[in-house]
Chain A
Amino acid sequence: MEVALPRPRAAREPFLTRSLDNERLLAAILLAPAVLILAVFIAYPFVMGVWLSLSSTSVGNPGEFVGLKNFLKAWDDSIFRTAFGNTFFYTFWATVFKLSLGMWVALLLNRHFRGKRLVRAAMLLPFIIPTVLSTFAWRWMFDPTFSVLNWTLYKAGLIATKLPFLSDSTWAMWCAISINTWRGMPFFAITLLAGLQTINPDLHEAASLDGANAWRRFWHVTWPLLKPVTLVVVVFSVIQTFSDFQLIYVLTGGGPANSTHLVATYAYQIGVGAGLLGEGAAISLFMLPVLFFVVWMQLRYLRRLEGA
């Protein structure tokens, strides 16, 4: 064996070390596992997805290339347009609520009080519980016959008849938005709290010495420093919300009369329910450019902030 080694041990180590110090080689080695897994498990499905969207594939039938026909058909489909509009509406309001309420909670939690740790951990609970299961719990609370919310309001004398939580188009959408907010708000709160803790308290002190009130202190001192954190959270949240599936699927299935259908649930209905894989893929791919645009804008803004 020793003969087989061309060089003594002492000379080998620097060689290995040297080559690992080569940035390109090291980078390649470090990136390999991630790229490998992604290439094996997502590149093919993604390419397949794009191909499906350009073909007339249905379940069990390979189909042929049809160009952009599926996309045009989807665009011409009134249910798709409803779903597309709903998705924007849903994402926009859910994000607004998650951000504003999350910020509020973060500011509250940033103060010192007894049981702070416990409260912080408790606030995260909605984020932990599997969406499918928590949505079932909400459905149980919105149940037309057994709703605890209706009962409370009824006993309090605020309503005379049941509220149509999930049976009215507008109500149903807002119910979905509130559940999404309930679920996502803790993530915002804790992340923003993390951001708040890095802000030097001296800055606040200085500002309050200058006689700034709480609102102005927040606006002029806290907010500018929190902006980068906020943007990152918003990016993640927009991606998740825009492609939300489980919540609507469990809560309403897109009803009543498509008023809560989102792009993802509709794509599933077409692709799996009706077996039209090509059209389903096209519908779900409609999300990609939108998400890409949102992310690109936010990244650009973030870079500009960093650069400044």
Chain B
Amino acid sequence: MIEQRWKRWVFFYIPLTLFIIGTLFPFYWMFVTAIRPDHELYRSWRAANNAPFWTLQPTLAHFQDLLARTTFPRWLWNTFFIAVASTGISLFCGLLAGYALARLRFPMAGALGTSIFVTYLVPPTLLFIPLADIIREFHLGNTPWALILTYPTFLIPFCTWLLMGYFKTIPKELEECARIDGATRLGAMVRIIFPIAIPGILSAGIFAFTLSWNEFIYALIFLSSPERKTVPVGVVSELIRGDIYFWGQLMAGALLGSIPVALVYSFFVEYYVTGLTGSVKG
């Protein structure tokens, strides 16, 4: 397919560039805000010497302050730990349940699948109130386990559903061959099917990880010590004081808070692409 040059520009380079600018500009803006000294941050938008797109006196003060004044590294670690653990649990449950729903015949399979999915629809706004009851019953308040065990409530349905779709795309013959060779059903599942499903598992895992990384309200309710908080809750509750916002530090926190996930994504993005394909093909 040979394209004329101008066509390639008009239909490809220009729109792609615009999309990249649109997507990334807020990040650039966060970055500029984070390194801009305070006295520049609060200048009139009409000020003659206003140069919003860059700063002549970049400073790391906001980053330093964020690290010195708050327990940001702790929050980062907490968030990471909670996200990994809850993702792990959800993947484990979702993997087994997804396989059962996709492959095994048993009564009520359809109904069970639907009801697992329906839990994803339960409006979460006020769920934290009765959930607080359970957290108290299990004495989980102010421990990471409060979140590690509650996040799966919205992650499992998602993982199950995604993986169920993925398993359906794997030809049944593969499994049957293995079983003829003497493998048990369980063995075939673990040794044959799961390895093939790795891209699907990764994509479900990455998505689940993002959702836990993002969560706000449960983390706000169930954790109380400053050093146990997660990034979104910590940043919001320490850097906003009534009618005073620490914009520089807030943006620094937002940036630092998304970098770890960004790294994970950049490693896995290709897997993610192939993984999702499988799951939705069926």
Contacts and interface: CB of A to CB of B under 8 A. Distances in A.
A151 B109 contact: no
Interface stretch (A41-49, A68-76, A88-96, A164-172): A41-49
A31 B15 contact: no
B116 A277 contact: no
Given A182-B26, A195-B277, A198-B281, A292 B121 contact: yes
Contacts of B214: 130-132
Interface string A215-256: 000000000000011001100100100010110000000000
B281 to A, nearest CB: 6
Interface size of A as a range? 35 or more
Contacts of A197: 273-274, 277
Nearest to B52: A148
B6 interface: no
Interface string B112-123: 100011111111
B123 A45 contact: no
Tell me the dominant secondary structure on chain B's binding face. helix
Given A133-B254, A264-B125, 17 more contacts: A20-B184, A23-B104, A31-B97, A37-B149, A38-B152, A38-B153, A46-B119, A117-B269, A121-B269, A129-B254, A133-B232, A133-B253, A148-B53, A151-B45, A151-B50, A154-B45, A246-B216
Residue from A140, A162, A287 whose CB has the most chain B CB atoms within 10 Å = A140
Given A34-B94, A194-B275, A284-B126, A41 B153 contact: yes
B232 A128 contact: no
A176 interface: no
Contacts of B121: 239, 288, 291-292, 295
Contact of A27 (B19, B104, B282): B104
20 contacts: A23-B106, A27-B106, A31-B100, A34-B116, A38-B152, A41-B131, A42-B127, A46-B119, A52-B126, A123-B19, A128-B265, A132-B214, A132-B235, A140-B33, A154-B45, A182-B22, A267-B126, A277-B126, A288-B122, A288-B123
Interface of A: 17, 20-21, 23-24, 26-28, 30-31, 33-35, 37-38, 40-42, 44-46, 48-49, 52, 101, 104-105, 108-109, 111, 113, 117-134, 136-138, 140-141, 145-148, 150-152, 154, 162, 182, 185-186, 190-191, 193-195, 197-198, 208, 214, 228-229, 232-233, 236, 239, 243, 245-246, 263-265, 267-268, 271-272, 277, 280-281, 284-285, 287-288, 291-292, 295, 306
Contacts of A185: 23
A129 B50 contact: no
A52 B27 CA distance: 42
B23 A128 contact: no
Contacts of A239: 120-121
A182 B124 CA distance: 23
Nearest to B162: A232
Contacts of B53: 148
Contacts of A148: 29, 52-53
B56 interface: no
Interface residues of B, number: 99
A130 B254 contact: yes
Given A26-B185, A145-B44, A132 B106 contact: no
Tell me the dominant secondary structure on chain A's binding face. helix
B111 interface: no
Residue from A101, A133, A281 whose CB has the most chain B CB atoms within 10 Å = A133
B205 interface: no
Interface string B246-275: 010011011001100110011001101111
Nearest to B15: A108
Contact of B262 (A128, A138, A208, A214): A128
B67 interface: no
A190 B258 CA distance: 18
Contact of B29 (A34, A128, A140): A140
A48 B117 contact: no
A120 B150 CA distance: 32
